[in-house]
Amino acid sequence: MFEYMDYNIAPWGHEIVIYFFLIGAAGMTFVYAAAPVVFGNVFGGAAKSMEPFQRVGLIASLVLLAICGPLLIMDLGQPARFLYPILYFHWTSPLSWGSLFLPLFGLCIVGFYYGSIKDNQGLMRWTGILGSLLALSMPLYTGLDLMVNQTRELWSNPTIPLLFVILSMSSGTAVVAVIQLLRGQLDQRAAEFLHAFLYLSLAVTFALFLAEWVVLNYGTGEKQQAWEIINQQFAFKYWGMTFLIGILAPLVLVAIPKLGRDPKILTLAAVLSAVGAYSFREVLIYAGQLTQINF
Amino acid sequence: MPVGLQTEPSLGVPGKKRWAMVVDLRRCIGCMACVCADKAEYDVPLGVWRTTVKVKDTGHYPNTKRHFMPRLCNHCDNPPCVRNCPTQATYKHEDGFVLQRYERCISCRTCIAACPYNARHVLPKNRDRVKIGGVVDKCTFCNHRVEKGLAPACVQTCLGRSRIFGDLNDPNSEVSRLVARHKTVVLKPDKGTRPQVYYIKPDRAQTEQVFSAPQSYAARSDAQAFYQRNRGSKFFSGVL
């Protein structure tokens, strides 16, 4: 009767995967939009290439945030209590911190936008710096939310928060590249700037993918169990969508010197990397929950 | 003293109670009376359970064996669900109960993800008689009964006296004597949760997760059907 219990279902479904992906993209889109003000002349003023993207990037970030918030609230069993993580703040729970940072991040976007309309450089700088930190905290807290579950060994891994931040770099770059290409403003300088970030994020993702592979194969019984589940239930998503389409193909594209900086090829690579960023999260979130489903 | 973010321990603390359960698997006959008693005590809806008796068939015909293993919330001394709850809806009572404040729970299911024992579930939203719904629920060690000097419902009804409940901080209690006299096993001790449900003579196939995959044909078919149908994408849509 109870050898296999289908009520031992995993708690987090596709809403959480979509939320994790979109909030990462929203965060990094804001970082790109605020980069000219935050970084100014650092690195030879390379961030200035994002100036044409500033306002549209803020709107894109706000739109993504406007999707994320309700999505997260609707995922709750008690949506009307969505403020409780702030009202009954529990400092040991990453979810509480995320719930606090999420509206603050939204306020920073609005503040930065207001500053750009009024040409208030001081307001833009402060909201830009604070907003960028909060933007990075979004994928960071989603990774921490998994990492703190020491009982789920696929998640309980310090690389997960870092991986999620790096994946958000890929998805954020994709948002910027697509928008700028459609607007016809992805010039050589902007492409150069995005190329550097995409190359970095893909290289680190590739390294973390390999690290995950080693950790799971050389790990404990539960890690090996997770590896088995990944290869049985999520083989296509893990090896096909994540590794081949989401990491290897775009990495090859951006690594070829002449090809990688071409705006269209760069946008293609960024979109592929965003597909991989979604798929990687999906596999990790689902497979991490399935390990103990029979226990 | 708690270490780092660990919860204040109750086990071995003078002046405090540490309620615990011993499950003597030599005595469990798999009658499921405990499951029924629990369902009746709390009006637990269909499809979810606060306690179960896991059944495991091992071996090959004609040399087969059926193992029973009652499972419930382990009321850990260092519960990860408490640490991870964003609203402090889940908390640890000073006597060791890990309890749930329904009025605070937002049903984010973080506690379900944190629990290594699959001891938590979400109550359906629209229930006929009981108004509590759309929140996470779990075994309470029947704290409402224990506070009145009664045994938990599952212990009260256990036919073979397989489930024994008591204060582990009291050296004269039956649970203390059993834990002292017998070689007991807790589930997943390596997770650092310090669970307070002690098993006497369990089978390895039931205590270790890597061996816990379904072995019988029927159970394997069920598991495969579940994976094929869901593939990790329709976890909660039918419950919430």
> What's the distance, CA A127 to chain centroid?
21
CB contact under 8 A, B107 and A78: yes
Ramachandran bin of A154, using left for φ above 0, alpha for ψ from -120 to 50, beta for the remaining angles: alpha
Query: For A264-274, how does the pLDDT look when each residue is reduced to its tens digit (9 = 90+)?
Result: 999 999 999 99
- How many angstroms separate the CA atoms of A108 and A146, rounded? 26
- How many angstroms separate the CA atoms of A200 and A255, rounded? 10
> Which run of H or of E encompasses B58?
strand B52-60
CB B162 within 8 A of CB B70: yes
**What is the per-residue pLDDT for B240?**
33
Question: Between B226 and A27, whose confidence is greater?
Answer: A27
Select from B212, B237, B239 the Cβ nearest to the Cβ of A295.
Answer: B212
Q: Is the pLDDT of residue A8 over 90?
A: no
A 10 A CB-CB count for B79 gives 26
Question: Between B5 and A211, whose confidence is greater?
Answer: A211
Nearest to B74 by CA among B15, B18, B5, B34: B18
CB contact under 8 A, B106 and A289: no
**What is the per-residue pLDDT for A5?**
53
Any residues with CB less than 8 A from the CB of B190 and at least 6 apart, and which?
none
Question: Between B127 and B177, whose confidence is greater?
Answer: B177
**What is the per-residue pLDDT for A151?**
87
Nearest to B204 by CA among B61, B56, B80: B56
Any residues with CB less than 8 A from the CB of A184 and at least 6 apart, and which?
none
User: What residues pair up with B65 in beta bridges, in sequence order?
Assistant: B58
Q: Does A88 touch chain B (CB under 8 A)?
A: yes
Q: Is the pLDDT of residue B157 over 90?
A: yes
In a domain, A186, yes or no: yes
Mean pLDDT, rounded, for B227-239: 45
Angle of helix A159-182 relative to helix A14-39, nearest 10 degrees, comes to 70
Question: Between B230 and A134, whose confidence is greater?
Answer: A134
Give A-chain residues touching B49 at CB under 8 angstroms: 7
Q: Is the pLDDT of residue B227 over 60?
A: no
Do the strands B90-92 and B63-71 form a parallel or antiparallel pair, or are they unpaired? unpaired
**What is the per-residue pLDDT for B214?**
65
In a domain, A3, yes or no: no
pLDDT above 90 coverage of chain A, percent: 79
CB B208 within 8 A of CB B186: no
Select from A7, A145, A149 the Cβ nearest to the Cβ of B80.
Answer: A149
Select from A11, A88, A90 the Cβ nearest to the Cβ of B113.
Answer: A11
**What is the per-residue pLDDT for B77?**
94
Give A-chain residues touching B108 at CB under 8 angstroms: 75-77, 85, 95
In a domain, A219, yes or no: yes
CB contact under 8 A, A85 and B104: no
Least confident range from A188-202, B43-57, B99-113: namely B43-57
Mean pLDDT, rounded, for A17-36: 96
**What is the per-residue pLDDT for A109?**
97
CB contact under 8 A, B113 and A76: no
CB contact under 8 A, B208 and A3: no
Confidence of residue A30 (pLDDT cuts 50, 70, 90): very high
Give A-chain residues touching B115 at CB under 8 angstroms: 151
Which two structure tokens, joined as six digits, stand for A61? 């970030």
pTM: 0.91
Question: Between B115 and A43, whose confidence is greater?
Answer: B115
Which two structure tokens, joined as six digits, stand for A242? 């994540």
Confidence of residue B202 (pLDDT cuts 50, 70, 90): confident
Q: Is the pLDDT of residue B231 over 90?
A: no
* Topology of domain B19-73+142-227, CATH: Alpha-Beta Plaits (3.30.70)
Mean pLDDT, rounded, for A139-150: 95
Which two structure tokens, joined as six digits, stand for B132? 């509590």
Mean pLDDT, rounded, for B60-77: 91
SS3 A189: helix
Q: Is the pLDDT of residue A180 over 60?
A: yes
Residue B105: closest C-alpha in chain A: A78
Domain borders along chain B are 19-73+142-227
**What is the per-residue pLDDT for A192?**
92
Q: Produce one character per residue of A86-121: b if its CB has 16 or more CB atoms within 10 Å, e if not.
A: eebebebbbbbbbbbbbeebbebbebbbebbeeeee
Q: Is the pLDDT of residue B238 over 60?
A: no
Q: Is the pLDDT of residue B235 over 50?
A: no
Residue in this structure with the two tokens 């059993």, named with its chain if needed:
B178
Least confident range from A7-16, A203-212, A285-294, B216-225: namely B216-225
Instruction: List the CATH number of the domain containing A148.
Output: 1.20.1630.10
Question: Measured between CA atoms, how close is B153 to chain A, in angstroms?
Answer: 20
Number of domains in chain A: 1
In a domain, A8, yes or no: no
**What is the per-residue pLDDT for B215?**
65
- How many angstroms separate the CA atoms of A274 and A279, rounded? 9
Residue in this structure with the two tokens 């995993």, named with its chain if needed:
A10
User: Which residue of B3, B36, B83, B110 is the best one to mutate when testing the A interface, meaning the one whose CB has the most A CBs within 10 A?
Assistant: B110
Residue A211 to residues A143, A160, A208, A241: CA-CA distances in angstroms?
16, 11, 5, 18
Q: Is the pLDDT of residue A39 over 90?
A: no
In a domain, A7, yes or no: no
**In sequence order, what E strands does A45-117 have?**
none
Q: What number is the ipTM of this complex?
A: 0.90
- How many angstroms separate the CA atoms of A281 and A205, rounded? 12
- How many angstroms separate the CA atoms of A221 and A216, rounded? 9
Least confident range from A150-154, A291-295, B37-41: namely A291-295
Question: Measured between CA atoms, how close is A188 to chain B, in angstroms?
Answer: 41
Which two structure tokens, joined as six digits, stand for A256? 């070829």
Enclosing domain of residue A77 = 14-290
Q: How many helices (H) and strands (E) does chain B have?
A: 8, 10
Confidence of residue B123 (pLDDT cuts 50, 70, 90): confident
Question: Measured between CA atoms, how close is B149 to chain A, in angstroms?
Answer: 31
By residue count, chain A amounts to 295
Give B-chain residues touching A77 at CB under 8 angstroms: 105-109, 122, 125, 134-136, 240
Confidence of residue B233 (pLDDT cuts 50, 70, 90): very low
A 10 A CB-CB count for B29 gives 12
Query: For A85-109, how does the pLDDT look when each residue is reduced to its tens digit (9 = 90+)?
Result: 999 999 999 999 999 999 999 999 9
Confidence of residue B13 (pLDDT cuts 50, 70, 90): confident
CB A259 within 8 A of CB A279: no
